[in-house]
A and B are shown apart, each in its own frame.
Chain A
Amino acid sequence: MGKIREFDFEYFIGPAHPGVTGNMSYHIWAEGDTILKIEPNLGYLHRGFEKLVEQRHWIKNFPLILRICVPEPDVNEVLLAMAVEELNEIDVPERAQYIRIIVLELARLAAYLFYFGGVAGAIGLYTIPQWTIGDRDYILDLFEELTGGRVYHIYQTIGGVRRDTPEGFEERVLKVLDYLEERLKDYDKLFFEHPLFLKRTKGIGIVDKDTALRFSVTGPNLRAAGVNYDVRKQEPYLIYDRFDFDVPDIYRDGDVYSRAMQRRLEFAESIRIIRQAIDKMPGGAVNIKIRNPFEYRVRAGSTYVKLESSKGEYGFYVVSDGGVLPYRLHVRGPSFSHGLQLVRHIAEGTNIADISMILFSLDVCPPDAER
């Protein structure tokens, strides 16, 4: 860390800044254009979810817990359901599992579209956000049809999902997937092969393999550093072991470019998974009866459940004392690793113009760091 002198500049990125999804600020000390030191400043989004959860019945937490994260709320719901199901040893109906996969992967697509727009916006290519956010709306339309909500779906419940798919839903999903695949070609031309994009992102914000492992980096960020790690493969939750998909392992440089391209390739893999899920989806019930929402109890014990979100490994550490309320719920958001200690380390010495792009390329989402 360079020594900070009196006449060095101090900047604040955020709390409202296009480089950060959500309200969070970074305090920057810079010498000229070079960053000497960066210090994350949290607290703008702290809503105390972990405390609120402790005062609500298990079932009442589903509308609450997903509000942690806007771009991809479903992971929270699914994790809470998974934790309860694991502690109570509930068998989830097959059809519900498939619907969950579809929901999770659609959410990943939506989150990646958000991400593409964000990175492009941070570079200054403002057409791409307009395209991707617009295309994301088609996925939100699907969610609206399936779950009744566009952004916050509140669709999961203990032992399944709340409603069966509406009639003709599968065909409409396939239609949107076809459209997105077609659009991906446009994105490639407009963005991923764009010379400006290549120039701005290659070799910038490098998180190499060692750094990534040292700072507990997970998800696409880790894969872009050349470590082939995906929770869906390593510890297949739900029924991910039944699907044929690859974890792309082409880009290994750990720079902004690799991270964006990694997500670009995974986008196509998610589409593959959804197609398979729709193809294989069996009939039957989609949920189980919990009999009384106010008296639903979870066996005493604790568990750590995790899944692969669009940002990385998302985990819940859930403790139950056998009562109607959760005893403790700790949300392990990937941004807690990516946005704090890692940024302190890698941002040092980078150019001030690149910092918002680096932050966005790491997909730092303050809400899941602060809860």
Chain B
Amino acid sequence: MQKGRCVMGMNLKFFDALKFLVRKPHTVRVPYEKKEPAKRYRGIHVNDWEKCIGCGNCAKICTCQAIEMVEIPTLTPKMGATNLRPQVDYGRCSFCGQCVDVCPTGSLKLSTEYEIISSDINDFKFIPNLNRDSGPGTGWESDIESSLLDFKRVEMPERDPKERKKDFDWVLKGFSEEEAVFEAVRCLGCALCVQGCPTGMYIPEYINAIFNKDYEKSVEWMFINNPLPEVCGTICTHRCEDACVYHNRGQAVQIRYLKGFAAGKVDDYEKVVGISKKKADKKVALIGAGPASLSCAFYLRREGVDAVIYEAQKVAGGMLKLGIPRYRLPDSILSKEIDFIKKQGVEIKFGIRVGVDVTFEQLLKMYDAVFIGTGYHVGSRMGIPGDEGEGVFDAATLLRDVNLGKEVKIGKKVLVIGGGDVAMDATRTALRLGAEEVILSYRRRYVDMPASDEEKHEAEAEGVKFMTQTLPVEIVRDKNGRITKVKYVETEMVHEEGARRPKPVPKMDNVMEWEIDTVIMAIGQKPDWSFLPDEWKNKIKFDRRMNHIIVNDDMMTDVEGVFAGGDIVNPRADAISAIADGRKAALGIIKYLEIRK
């Protein structure tokens, strides 16, 4: 051993060793200092119950099966949520944080807290809430960028607004197979969307079939509770997408267009769904050939019940055909699905108006049950000075006439009043009829418009001028009775105590004008009860305003054997609700006729 080295076998020189006298030790500090975990430390779970929707994806991704979804009876889930909450077993948890990265809402997080000290084994298994939160900015937090999920959807390709507003052809281009599969991958299969769908379609199942490119299987799933899948895949109000887990922080899966895509890929439904050969020896009459009646008739025929639809117009489809403009729902899609329903043996009697050509009582005598699916066909008017006469349309009539191919003359400067989907249809139809300038007047704010966002965006893209918080007060006509101007005032949103939403209050002192030659009113539609004899109006139970029929769970009215569905029953007033009603009514009728035992 060389000299000058430490006797203890230490190889350090004396002066080298000296510096360690004043050095801070690595490990235990004296006096004691608690080691703070790093900001990103993955510790115990924290779950914000307000944001958590109980979708169970955290339990699904857990490698260790440490997470179990537990029902919390005290929670009342909102739409698109369940009252399940994750319970974590820290005997199994490996603190990987993948549950956080897959959490669609971002409610879950791993805090920097890591101490659970207990002699009771049950304390290591609990339902996390915000109690152990270490504060924002600490722990393993979920953010959209580093999430395992992609919150961006594949956008539906559309035709160029400048081009498409010239004709009534379909504005959408449709998904390519690649796009559809790429979008279908996003579905996590948590099935919360089903809560949103009025008819409860098997959404995760059919999307998974699309992902596997098995479109026939997909259509099979759809037909279980929707006989008009491609129509719904084109114009549905997609409540399912609002309930989609992605909707909480990003864009929902394109459930609607995926459905349309898959249904469009199957040309012949008969091969997939088949035609029922059952016979039940019962007959049911259905009034109106809208989606409710079509759906009801389809499911009745599947069980062998004869279904006869009475339709006042010369065409089938109801509002699908007469209310929705062709650029949104091409005829080819509609006729494909209606033809298939007819193929099931559904008979449609065209041009027969119940109450005129045949009475309601006659139907009751001739058939074992009657289903009323007449819908809302009468457009309302505002009742302001000058709204009688030439140049003023109600949207329902205008759209019906355009769809029936009648010649409709409108001017160059069009004012549309209203803020719903029908108003959007009216503005865009007006553009296609040759209007140069279309103004949309709505009395509330832009965000309050009941029209769907994409309809609003599409209308704006096509050049419709949105004038929100305005209220027309008078239509001014010249000597010949032609409209020249519309006087209007602005409104102010006033929030009243206890009111659900702020109320528009017109500011009457400042009256302004638009140069207008045509006015279309899209301020709501009403049912037409004229086919019902007066005594029946008393027998059947209506709501207070005579707008809706009140039915029970089987869609049966107060009168035995009389069923109703569609817009005249439920205030949601969309196609998918009508289809749901029709299907429910079909089941109710079958139960009523007691043919299922």
Interface check B98, CB cutoff 8 A: yes
Given A148-B38, A292-B185: A162 touches B146 (CB 8 Å cut-off)? yes
Q: A280 to nearest B CB, angstroms? A: 23
The residues in A between 105 and 141 inclusive whose CB is less than 8 angstroms from any CB of B are 125, 127, 134-135, 137-138, 141
Cβ contacts under 8 Å, B110 to chain A: 148
Interface check B298, CB cutoff 8 A: no
Q: Is the CB of B150 within 8 A of A145?
A: no
Q: Is the CB of A190 within 8 A of B97?
A: no
Q: Is the CB of A144 within 8 A of B41?
A: yes
The residues in A between 300 and 315 inclusive whose CB is less than 8 angstroms from any CB of B are none
Q: What is the interface of chain B, defined by CB distance below 8 A to chain A? A: 1-2, 9-13, 16, 25-27, 37-42, 60-61, 63-64, 94-98, 101-102, 110, 140, 146, 148-150, 182, 185-189, 211
Q: Is the CB of B97 within 8 A of A148?
A: yes
Q: A14 to nearest B CB, angstroms? A: 26
Q: A277 to nearest B CB, angstroms? A: 20
Segment at the interface with B among A57-65, A87-95, A244-252: A57-65
Determine the distance from Cα of A191 to Cα of B9 in the docked complex, in whole angstroms. Answer: 10
Q: A188-220 vs B: 1/0 string, CB under 8 Å?
A: 011101111000000000000000000000000
Interface check A290, CB cutoff 8 A: yes
Q: Is the CB of B12 within 8 A of A62?
A: no
Determine the distance from Cα of A271 to Cα of B330 in the docked complex, in whole angstroms. Answer: 67
Cβ contacts under 8 Å, B95 to chain A: 149
Cβ contacts under 8 Å, A292 to chain B: 149-150, 185-188
A-B contact pairs, 13 of them (CB 8 A): A60-B61, A63-B96, A63-B98, A134-B25, A135-B26, A145-B40, A162-B97, A163-B40, A189-B12, A189-B13, A191-B11, A292-B185, A294-B188
Q: Is the CB of B146 within 8 A of A163?
A: yes
Interface check A146, CB cutoff 8 A: yes
Cβ contacts under 8 Å, A157 to chain B: 148
Determine the distance from Cα of A195 to Cα of B63 in the docked complex, in whole angstroms. Answer: 50
Given A287-B146, A291-B185, A292-B185: A144 touches B10 (CB 8 Å cut-off)? no
Determine the distance from Cα of A290 to Cα of B149 in the docked complex, in whole angstroms. Answer: 7
Determine the distance from Cα of A189 to Cα of B140 in the docked complex, in whole angstroms. Answer: 42
Given A166-B39, A189-B11: A56 touches B63 (CB 8 Å cut-off)? yes
Cβ contacts under 8 Å, B186 to chain A: 291-292
CB-nearest residue of chain A relative to B64? A63
A62-B96, A147-B40 are known; give 11 further A-B pairs, CB within 8 A.
A67-B94, A125-B9, A135-B26, A137-B26, A137-B27, A141-B38, A149-B95, A162-B146, A195-B11, A196-B9, A289-B150
Determine the distance from Cα of A291 to Cα of B211 in the docked complex, in whole angstroms. Answer: 13
Q: Is the CB of B96 within 8 A of A59?
A: no
Cβ contacts under 8 Å, B150 to chain A: 289, 291-292
Q: A216 to nearest B CB, angstroms? A: 32
**Which of A138, A154, A164, A190 interacts with B96 by CB under 8 Å?**
A154
Q: Is the CB of A195 within 8 A of B41?
A: no
Given A127-B10, A186-B12, A292-B149: A144 touches B96 (CB 8 Å cut-off)? no
Q: Is the CB of B98 within 8 A of A60?
A: yes
**Which of B40, B64, B149 interacts with A148 by CB under 8 Å?**
B40
Q: Is the CB of A134 within 8 A of B9?
A: no
Q: A120 to nearest B CB, angstroms? A: 12
**Which of B10, B25, B27, B187 interacts with A190 by CB under 8 Å?**
B10
Determine the distance from Cα of A67 to Cα of B452 in the docked complex, in whole angstroms. Answer: 50
The residues in A between 263 and 321 inclusive whose CB is less than 8 angstroms from any CB of B are 287, 289-295
Determine the distance from Cα of A36 to Cα of B299 in the docked complex, in whole angstroms. Answer: 85
Determine the distance from Cα of A193 to Cα of B6 in the docked complex, in whole angstroms. Answer: 13
Q: Is the CB of A134 within 8 A of B39?
A: no
Interface check A152, CB cutoff 8 A: yes
Determine the distance from Cα of A248 to Cα of B63 in the docked complex, in whole angstroms. Answer: 41
Determine the distance from Cα of A163 to Cα of B38 in the docked complex, in whole angstroms. Answer: 14
The residues in A between 66 and 103 inclusive whose CB is less than 8 angstroms from any CB of B are 67
CB-nearest residue of chain A relative to B27? A134
Given A195-B1, A291-B186: A145 touches B38 (CB 8 Å cut-off)? yes
The residues in A between 32 and 63 inclusive whose CB is less than 8 angstroms from any CB of B are 56-57, 59-63
Given A59-B148, A163-B146, A295-B185: A189 touches B16 (CB 8 Å cut-off)? yes
Q: A157-200 vs B: 1/0 string, CB under 8 Å?
A: 10000111010000000000000000000100111011110000
CB-nearest residue of chain B relative to A145? B38
Determine the distance from Cα of A97 to Cα of B514 in the docked complex, in whole angstroms. Answer: 62
Given A137-B26, A145-B40, A294-B189: A59 touches B61 (CB 8 Å cut-off)? yes
Ranked nearest first, the 8 interchain pairs of A and B with the lowest CB-CB distance are A63-B96, A134-B26, A148-B42, A145-B38, A144-B38, A148-B40, A289-B150, A154-B96
Cβ contacts under 8 Å, A135 to chain B: 26
Cβ contacts under 8 Å, A59 to chain B: 61, 98, 148
Determine the distance from Cα of A166 to Cα of B146 in the docked complex, in whole angstroms. Answer: 13
CB-nearest residue of chain A relative to B211? A295
Q: Which of A63, A64, A127, A148 has the most CB of B within 10 A?
A: A148
Determine the distance from Cα of A195 to Cα of B2 in the docked complex, in whole angstroms. Answer: 9
Q: Is the CB of B16 within 8 A of A186?
A: yes
Q: Which of B1, B9, B11, B61 has the most CB of A within 10 A?
A: B11
Cβ contacts under 8 Å, B97 to chain A: 148, 154, 162
**Which of A148, A196, A294 interacts with B60 by CB under 8 Å?**
A294
Q: B544 to nearest A CB, angstroms? A: 48
Q: B101 to nearest A CB, angstroms? A: 7
Q: Is the CB of B61 within 8 A of A148?
A: no
Determine the distance from Cα of A146 to Cα of B41 in the docked complex, in whole angstroms. Answer: 9
Q: Is the CB of B94 within 8 A of A63?
A: yes
Given A190-B12, A295-B185: A148 touches B94 (CB 8 Å cut-off)? no
Q: Is the CB of B11 within 8 A of A193?
A: yes
Q: A316 to nearest B CB, angstroms? A: 18
Cβ contacts under 8 Å, A166 to chain B: 38-40
Given A190-B11, A287-B146, A292-B187: A63 touches B63 (CB 8 Å cut-off)? yes
CB-nearest residue of chain B relative to A196? B9
Determine the distance from Cα of A97 to Cα of B412 in the docked complex, in whole angstroms. Answer: 61
Cβ contacts under 8 Å, A194 to chain B: 9, 11
Determine the distance from Cα of A137 to Cα of B27 in the docked complex, in whole angstroms. Answer: 9
Q: Is the CB of A162 within 8 A of B101?
A: yes
CB-nearest residue of chain A relative to B183? A291
Determine the distance from Cα of A134 to Cα of B25 in the docked complex, in whole angstroms. Answer: 9
Q: Is the CB of B149 within 8 A of A291?
A: yes
Q: Which of B13, B27, B98, B182 has the most CB of A within 10 A?
A: B98
Q: Which of A61, A190, A294 has the most CB of B within 10 A?
A: A294
CB-nearest residue of chain A relative to B208? A295
Q: B71 to nearest A CB, angstroms? A: 23
Cβ contacts under 8 Å, A60 to chain B: 61, 63, 98
Cβ contacts under 8 Å, A191 to chain B: 11
Cβ contacts under 8 Å, A63 to chain B: 63-64, 94, 96, 98
Q: B400 to nearest A CB, angstroms? A: 43
Q: B16 to nearest A CB, angstroms? A: 6
Determine the distance from Cα of A146 to Cα of B97 in the docked complex, in whole angstroms. Answer: 14
Q: Is the CB of A293 within 8 A of B38?
A: no
